[in-house]
Chain A
Amino acid sequence: MFTINRAIRVPFIVLILAFICGCTAQVPVSDRNGLKPHLNVDLQVTSATDAYHTNKFSIFLTQEDVPYRDAAQVQFEVWPEGNKDAVIKVDGKQSSSGLYTASYSFSEEGIYIVKGHVSTQEYQVMPSKRFAVGNEAVEELIAQEQASESEMDHTHAEHHH
């Protein structure tokens, strides 16, 4: 009788311990900043040097500073600001590790919006930026950005009162 008791005691204790451990907070898998694994994006619009009004769009994907190379699809949507109906879509291709690029030539100057749609097996991100094509538009965009920035600073200051 005694020996049987002994035989079941160890598994019993293990079971109890397992139960207690099962009850504690299951801290979800997190990266070194305590966040859930996620993609970091760096969306850039640059003017290509070879042709006027040709812009290069790029998204650099990283995960904890390591280039992320497994994006199933990267697509750039571009439209003139205020006219979403005139959207054009360009597929991005991985030109170097984690860097997805595409380019497009604009026939009209003005302020545009580019939105990069990234989908992978686990993640989806969709950052967007405004950009200007042509000198006049560039000046206008800078003026607008400066205005919204000072507004941002203003509301930010209000929060700290």
Chain B
Amino acid sequence: MKAQTSWYQAVWRWHFYAGIIFAPFLIILAFSGSMYLFKPQIEGHLYKDLLTVREVGTSLVSPTALMEKVTSTYPELKISSVTFPDQPKSTVKMSVEHEGIASTLYADPYSGHILGIQDNSKTFSAYFKKMHSQLLMNGTWPNRLVELSACWAFILTVTGLYLWWPRKKSAIWGTFLPRFKNRGSRTFWRDMHAVPAFWLSLFILILIATGLPWSGVLGPQIDRIANATNTNYPPYGTVYMEKPDSVTVAKDVADNIPWAAENIPVPSSISGSYIQLDMNEIVGIADKQSIQKPYTISIPQDARGVYTISTDHVRPGSDATLHVDQYSGAILTDVRFADYGMMAKAITYGIALHEGRLFGIFNQLLGLITCIGLILISISSYFMWRKRKTNGRLGAPNKPRDKRTTIGVLIIMLIFGILMPLVGLSLIVVLILDLLVIRNVRPLKHWFSA
């Protein structure tokens, strides 16, 4: 029994410190995430004039003609890809570089009118995405901080479940249901923290797990595991992966004119280099390969590049990525969802679940409830702490007397640190701070209850 209290004490100490440091970040992540969840509805309303056509016509302007219209209106603009919608009311989107800024151009495929150009970094979703992934700051380290917070949120959930675990039999109140009796008491705030946290713990863990494949440090590790187990995306499987070159050899005509140097008469006929296929032809290929709209066709970057056809589906399952020779139209690669390995499939579904796209409005609401819950859990923990905080001290739980427990819990933390490299790094920083500074400065030692 004594060992158990000792363990409880040690785990609580870690939970306390991690919570106090990362709660503010988790509130930011939950808030920005809940906004981004409703991107389709909110942007659908905000940018209605760009996203939908005024009137659904009877005939469509051909993709090539639509692109020509754009380039003749804005001669300096560069189109890098075109997205064709599945809904008849939706506009055609083009990724463009306009005055040096990555933007999206919206065109009405019935009238051929250009409805507007939008700076990609200034949209509603871009703002909350930046908050969610780099706390609205630039550079690499804010993103690492977000990853660190997510990893610690994982540890907070696990340690929290350990602390929540009922130690007395048949204690429904305070375990599955909160005790409301003494509103404002420590017990009240403890229940407002632990009870919803228990109910949401599974969803919180799922949100963290499905967010990690994007992360900067753990993401590539997950990728490596998927590669090692042969369960990843096949080569050329997504638009984010490497692209092949076109195989049709474009010979340099100008380098091969012998009559220019020597006195040979000019021949009566000569052929030029290969002509790039146009957008209409690539759309024809996509339709022939039964690629379901919405899909995006990316234009070759240079003379050796390929056309890339990739689907833009809300729900995963019929994803496809094809690379097409820009001169001959030969399909060089064609990777469908069915070709993905097990982990790649899981990651694809996970991302859709994380973004609330997997099962419609219920997926979004589930995400929203989890976000609101996370914010409530963070706020209630603050009140719990205020109730504990005594004068001249931070209010951390005391160190357990038994040194072995402290070391035991530390070893568990180090295992977390090995699994999540950023956590490991933060543990090293904390241990160095503890050993070199906190233990040797008496007021600090007192304040931290070290």
List the interface of chain A (C-beta within 8 A of B). Answer: 23-28, 30, 33-36, 38-47, 52-53, 55, 113-114, 123-135, 138-139, 141-142, 144-146, 149, 152, 155-156, 159
In the complex, are the beta carbons of A52 and B244 less than 8 A apart? no
Q: Contacts A28-B234, A36-B334 given; 17 further ones with Cβ under 8 A?
A: A23-B341, A24-B229, A25-B230, A25-B233, A26-B339, A27-B235, A28-B335, A35-B332, A39-B328, A44-B271, A124-B329, A129-B275, A134-B269, A141-B270, A142-B270, A145-B253, A146-B254
Which residue of B272, B281, B332, B338 contacts A141 across the interface (Cβ within 8 Å)? B272
In the complex, are the beta carbons of A133 and B268 less than 8 A apart? yes
Query: How many interface residues does chain B have, given as a range?
Result: 35 or more
Return chain A residues, CB-CB under 8 Å to B257. 142
Measured in the bound complex, the distance between the Cα atoms of B338 and A113 in whole Å is 40
Return chain A residues, CB-CB under 8 Å to B331. 36, 38, 123
For chain B, residues 373 to 431, give those with C-beta under 8 angstroms from any C-beta of chain A: none
Return chain B residues, CB-CB under 8 Å to A138. 266-270
Query: A51 to chain B: closest CB distance in Å?
Result: 10
The DSSP consensus for interface residues of chain B is loop
In the complex, are the beta carbons of B341 and A28 less than 8 A apart? no
- 20 CB contacts below 8 A, A to B, read A24-B230, A25-B234, A26-B341, A36-B334, A39-B328, A39-B330, A52-B268, A123-B331, A126-B329, A127-B328, A129-B272, A129-B274, A130-B271, A131-B270, A132-B271, A132-B272, A135-B268, A138-B268, A141-B272, A149-B253
A-B contact count (CB 8 A): 148
Return chain A residues, CB-CB under 8 Å to B248. 40-41, 127
Return chain B residues, CB-CB under 8 Å to A30. 235
Is B27 an interface residue, CB under 8 A from the partner? no
Closest to B323 in A: A35
Return chain A residues, CB-CB under 8 Å to B274. 43, 127-129
Return chain A residues, CB-CB under 8 Å to B244. 33-35
Binary CB contact string for chain B from 338 to 374 against chain A (1 if under 8 A, 0 otherwise) = 1111101000000000000000000000000000000
Return chain A residues, CB-CB under 8 Å to B217. none
Known contacts A35-B332, A38-B330, A44-B271; is A156 also within 8 Å of B303 by CB? yes
